[in-house]
Amino acid sequence: MNTTKRNWIEAHKKRFFQYFGKTPVVTAVAPGRINLIGEHTDYNEGLSLPAAIDRWIATSIYPLSDSTRIEIQAPDMSAVIRWDSAQPFTPASALESYGYGAVELIRPLLSQFSGAYILIEGTIPIGSGISSSAALEVSLIKALLATEDVQLDPIVLAQYCQQVEHQFVNVKSGLLDPLASIMGLQGHALRIDFSQLSTQIIPLEWEHCSVVLCHSMVQRSLASSEYSKRVDECEAGFKEIQLNDSSVLRKSDIRKEHLPIISNERNRRRWEHVVNENQRVDLFIQAVQHQQWEQMKTILHASHMSLQHLYEVSCMELDFLVDTAYRYPTLYGARMMGGGFGGNILVVLPSSEVPAFIPYIQNAFYQKFKLQPICQVYQTDNGASFL
Task: Provide the annotated active-site residues.
Answer: 177
Q: Is 24 in the site for ligand GLA (CB under 6 A)?
A: no
Residue of 176, 182, 302, 325 interacting with ligand GLA (CB under 6 A) = 176
Among 29, 30, 42, 168, binds ligand GLA (CB under 6 A): 42
By CB under 6 A, tell whether 45 contacts ligand GLA. no
Dihedral pair phi/psi, residue 346, rounded to 5°? -105, 135
User: Using the rule CB under 6 A, which residue among 115, 174, 373, 383 binds ligand GLA?
Assistant: 174
Q: Which residue's Cβ lies closest to ligand GLA?
A: 339
Contact between 383 and 53 (Cβ < 8 Å): no
Contact predicate 68/84, CB 8 Å:
yes
> Could you say which of 128, 132, 139, 173 contacts ligand GLA (CB under 6 A)?
173
At residue 219, the 3 state secondary structure works out as coil
The dihedral through the CA atoms of 89, 130, 45, 380 has a sign that is negative
Return all residues near 7 (Cβ < 8 A) that are at least 6 apart.
none
Interface with ligand GLA, residue 39, by CB under 6 A: yes
Cβ pair 73, 19 in contact under 8 A: yes
Return the range that interacts with ligand GLA (CB under 6 A); candidates 35-43, 211-219, 346-354, 356-364: 35-43
Structural contact between residues 169 and 162, judged by C-beta atoms closer than 8 angstroms: no
Contact with ligand GLA (CB under 6 A): which of 45, 71, 137, 177?
177
Q: Does 40 bind ligand GLA (CB under 6 A)?
A: yes
CA proximity to 71, closest of 135, 21, 30, 5: 21
CB of 223 to ligand GLA, least distance (A): 8
User: How many residues contact ligand GLA, by CB under 6 A?
Assistant: 10
List the x/- string, 303-342, binding to ligand GLA by CB under 6 A.
-----------------------------------xx---
- Residue 131 beta carbon to ligand GLA: minimum distance, rounded to whole angstroms: 6
CB of 210 to ligand GLA, least distance (A): 22
C-alpha 200 chain-centroid distance: 18
Question: Is the Cβ of residue 26 or residue 180 nearer to ligand GLA in the bound state?
Answer: 180
CA 215 to chain centre: 15
Give 174 or 342: the residue with its C-beta nearer to ligand GLA: 174
Stretch that binds ligand GLA, among 74-82, 173-181, 187-195, 303-311 (CB under 6 A): 173-181
**Residues making up the chain, counted from first to last:** 387
Instruction: Encode 315-352 in three state secondary structure.
Output: CHHHHHHHHHHHCCCCCCEEEECCCCCCCEEEEEEEHH
Contact 34, 184 (CB under 8 A): no
Nearest CB to ligand GLA, comparing residues 45 and 177: 177
CB of residue 173 vs ligand GLA: minimum separation in angstroms?
4
Which one, 49 or 348, has the nearer CB to ligand GLA? 49
Dihedrals φ, ψ of 85, to 5°?
-65, -10
Alpha-carbon distance of 21 to 11, in angstroms, equals 15
Task: Please answer whether residues 286 and 298 qualify as being in contact, where contact means their C-beta atoms are separated by less than 8 angstroms.
Answer: no
Residues 6+ apart with CB under 8 A from 40: 230, 273, 274, 277, 307, 311, 313, 339
Nearer to ligand GLA, 119 or 281 (CB): 281
Q: Which stretch binds ligand GLA (CB under 6 A): 39-47, 106-114, 120-128, 282-290?
A: 39-47
- Told to check if 277 binds ligand GLA by CB under 6 A, we report no
Contact residues for ligand GLA, defined by CB under 6 A: 39-40, 42-43, 173-174, 176-177, 338-339
